[in-house]
Amino acid sequence: MRRVLYGQGKCSSEGFGQINGLKYIAKTDVLNLGGMKMRLKGFVAVLVTGLLMASLTACGGGGKSSSSDTKSTGDGNTQAASNADSGDYDFYIFNAKGESADALQKAVDSYSASTGKKVKVFSLGSGTDSTEMLRAEMNSDHMPTIFTVQNAQNLVEWVEGGFAMDLSQATDENFKKMANEVPQNFYLTRDGSVNYGIPYNIEGYGYIADKKMLAALFGEDKVEDFIAAYKIAPYAEFEAMVTAIDDYIKNGTAADVTLSGKTFSLLADKTEEAAKLKGVFSVAGSEKWTYGDHLINIAIDAVFKDSLATANATKEQIEAGRGAWEAYAKLLDFKTSHATTPRGPELINASTNGYDAAVAAFANGEAVFIKQGNWCYTNITKANPEIGSTLTFLPIKLDVTQEDIKAEGLTVDHLNSSIPVFVPMYYCINTKAADEEKAAAEAFLAWLNTTEEGLKFVVEDMAFIPYNADPDVTSAGYSLGDDILSYVKEGQTITDAYAGLPSGWATNVFGLQMLENYLNTAEWPDSAYSDIADFIINSWAEAAGME
């Protein structure tokens, strides 16, 4: 008899369930946690995703904004990291996903209180690159037992260095069972067969919009029709819509917008909400990852079917993607030309257009859209709790033809009506840790991901969507999570193909090039799109050792 968990509870005002009256039931495979039902199988067959994911080291944030390094003691108390460095703990977790820092610490405290295990947790601040810090920790006297890896490119270093454990070598029975049930298309792998990681969760991104703002623009009775028409509209109609809304914001011109053959009229008299708008898009101009990773991923998805294909790209394949690379450049130009902040030095100013400022601008009604993922839900609702229940995702559209599409089986329509959905990060176990530490770490990860108490922290406190949840029966309990599941259920997802790019290239090479030479200037030369495509081809090939 298989024992699973069932909980009944109510959702809080922010949409996260509070578990009450938890009990066990048998002969079922549904888990209900405070309004979130999860069927722990079948989901991944529906999800069209890549093998691996990188999101970002922090994907923006939603929780911790500064580093924390604490040791949980058996009674749930914490001590400073300096006291934990003596090695007086049962195992050590290095967590690079900053937005889950507080929730992970809370889970560890609970686990320690119930088991007596002492756990050291180090969490980087949101937006912080973990690579150098993790290398330093791996070369210290007290290496982490559990550490964070983003994707196949980041995995190479830890496999070749002998740190990442093949999960088939696990000894804890509950962990072994969980690891064996990770679907192959969610493996953290170098060859598609050996898995080195347990997924944190699944995430997705696109243009986030507030339905209340859409109602202020087009009328409350038009919102759902607008969303449905937008999803399947071609790029040209998207561009015309943005231009019309921008004119409405700046000049009050109430024009008609056509999407998928349907007409939507901007309201002649601006509402109080619409009057606050400063631009169509809120852009985190100082954050290279927002356009160096996530935005270019849409173009890379047009060329490569998944991250493994990207990692194995040839120079000829990269060159064949020129049409998609130029389409990316066109979209970046168009999007930043219709932002709340004019393109130029002010747009890339970290104090005025960093991640937090861009999210706050959107949350406070200064922009219609922001390109972000469900990881920023908490930040949005902290800035404006009133819009938490009315947020929705809309696809990012690219001006490509079918000839530009090189990924097998992909169509322009599917690309432009889908959102990327992926595993953002993985837990790995350090094979160089002592056997007793590895066993304790395995037991903790099994507890966190398979038990009633552990999943409560994953679902409620971390606000994660489990990687093996079934969209037919799952409610994430909050608007953006539920929207991701609706795209999954409809089969309207694309992959995280950019995760196979040479390590660090997307942000530190390409993203830096965009920031310093394009977002920093109001006017682009006529050759900009072609020049950007050339840079992508040549610098990618160089970073991959093709030249």
Q: Provide the b/e sequence for 446-463 (b: ≥16 CB within 10 Å).
A: bbbbbebebbbbbbbbbb
Q: Give pLDDT, residue 80.
A: 31
Q: Give me the residues paired with residue 3 across strands.
A: 26
Q: Give pLDDT, residue 36.
A: 43
- Strands 36-39 and 30-33, bridge-based pairing: antiparallel
Report how far residue 332's alpha carbon sits from residue 455's, in angstroms, rounded to the nearest whole number. Answer: 39
Q: Which helix (H) or strand (E) holds 298?
A: helix 296-303
Over the chain (547 residues), the average pLDDT of each successive run of 10 is 24 28 28 42 38 35 33 32 59 92 96 97 77 93 94 90 97 96 87 92 96 98 98 98 98 97 97 97 96 96 92 96 98 98 96 94 98 93 96 98 97 98 95 97 96 90 84 87 95 93 93 97 97 98 91
pLDDT digits (tens, 9 = 90+) for 439-464: 999 999 999 999 989 988 998 888 88
Contact 53, 422 (CB under 8 A): yes
Domains (range + CATH), the chain: 50-202+423-463 (3.40.190.10), 276-421 (no CATH)
What six digits make up the tokens of 113?
Answer: 């209180």
Contact 352, 185 (CB under 8 A): no
pLDDT digits (tens, 9 = 90+) for 82-119: 333 556 899 999 999 888 899 999 999 999 999 999 99
Report how far residue 93's alpha carbon sits from residue 149's, in angstroms, rounded to the nearest whole number. Answer: 12
Report how far residue 38's alpha carbon sits from residue 33's, in angstroms, rounded to the nearest whole number. Answer: 8
Q: Give me the residues paired with residue 80 across strands.
A: 70
